[in-house]
Structure 1
Amino acid sequence: MTDEDKKSGSNVAPLRAPRPCPECGRPSHREHYPFCSDRCRNVDLNRWLSGSYAIPVADDEAKADDDDR
């Protein structure tokens, strides 16, 4: 290891293990983690805002609430 490597901090281990981008599968980048780019980040945000990631509610849960009363 050279003095320049020590100064630049290249021996610092990353806090997280590298993971692929959840949108396209390419390697993620630190600036956009866990995404690879600003585009993939915006695609995911659009899905959240449009309700694509909504958790469906089963009718059985509503019946379970009535049974508790």
Structure 2
Amino acid sequence: MATKTGPKCPICGKPAVPEHRPFCSARCRQVDLGRWLSGDYVIPGAPVPEEDDKEN
């Protein structure tokens, strides 16, 4: 008999809990935030043109 499993934490793979969804704990939530803030995660998009600091 197959049992239905809920969503898993994207950081450690343990079952997610409603309080920290989609994570399993506050620790995994903080690990994910740290990865976003350090630039480990990026959303692909068109390159942003560099602006000149000079006035023309």
Aligned length: 43
Q: Scaled by the length of structure 2, what TM-score is found?
A: 0.65
How do 1:55-66 and structure 2 match up within 5 A? 55=43
Task: Flag as ranges the 4+ runs of structure 1 deviating above 2 A.
Answer: 55-58
Shift of 1:55: 4.1
What is the root-mean-square deviation of aligned Cα atoms in Å? Answer: 2.0
Judging by fraction of residues, say which structure has more helix.
1
* Counterpart position of 2:19: 31
**Gap runs ≥5 in structure 2:** 47-56
Task: Structure 1: state its 5+ residue gaps.
Answer: 1-16, 59-69
Post-superposition shift, 1:50?
A: 0.5
Tell me the TM-score normalised to structure 1 length: 0.54
Structure with greater Cα Rg: 1
Larger RCO (CA within 8 A; separation ≥ 6)? 2
Percent identity between matched residues is 62
| Alignment partners' CA distance in 1, 2:27 and 2:14 | 12
Partner of residue 52, structure 1: 40
